[in-house]
Amino acid sequence: MEPNVKRISRELKYQGAILKIYEDTVEVNGHEAHWDFIHHNGAAAVAPVNAEGKLLMVRQYRNALNRFTLEIPAGALDSPDEPKIQCAYRELEEETGYRTDHLEYLISVNTTVAFCDESIDIFVAKDLIPSSQHLDEDECIEVEPWAVEDLQQLIYKGEITDGKTIAAIMSYAQKYCTGAEKQA
């Protein structure tokens, strides 16, 4: 049996460059509660696969964690109505310096379902074409090719903790690196 939940109001508390933070007043089983809610317009990410079968990863500084992380290329939508696949094509080239003529949908991820509606579509890029990076002025990104098995080991050691990256690597490994798919 599902509890009776009804949103009574939503009040904008802060609006930043990519986030809007709200306070929701919600009635849950007859009791009033106040919940934080963060709205994000969405994002796209790419698992780029080079000719050797390695994933091109980006190493960049993440202020929220105060450290550099190893991730798949990704970025926020330029506008709420931008198609996520268009964003993925753009972010692939901007962050890695490679482009492709075809992206294949892999998986969608809601990053933090308890208080945020961010949704990221993740795509696979093969047949990479050399281009050039087009980094934002506040970005410093190094591109590194990695074997899928080595990336999985970094996940198991707790060295890769980014949710979209973990989902992408594990989904890619399951779909492309096992059984009949691996032999194709």
Q: Is 137 a catalytic residue?
A: yes
Residue 12, CA atoms < 13 Å, CB-side half-sphere:
6
- Coil vs helix vs strand at 100: coil
Secondary structure of residue 151 in the 3-state scheme? helix
- Dihedral pair phi/psi, residue 139, rounded to 5°: -110, 140
**Active-site residue (options: 32, 52, 137, 149):** 137
Helices 163-176, 148-156: inter-axial angle, 10-degree rounding: 130
DSSP per-residue string spanning 41-83: --EEEEEEB-TTSPEEEEEEEETTTTEEEEE--EEE-SSTTS-
Single out the residue of 168, 64, 46, 41 nearest to residue 117, CA to CA.
41
- The helix (H) or strand (E) run that includes residue 116 is none
Give the residue numbers annotated as catalytic, written as ranges: 137
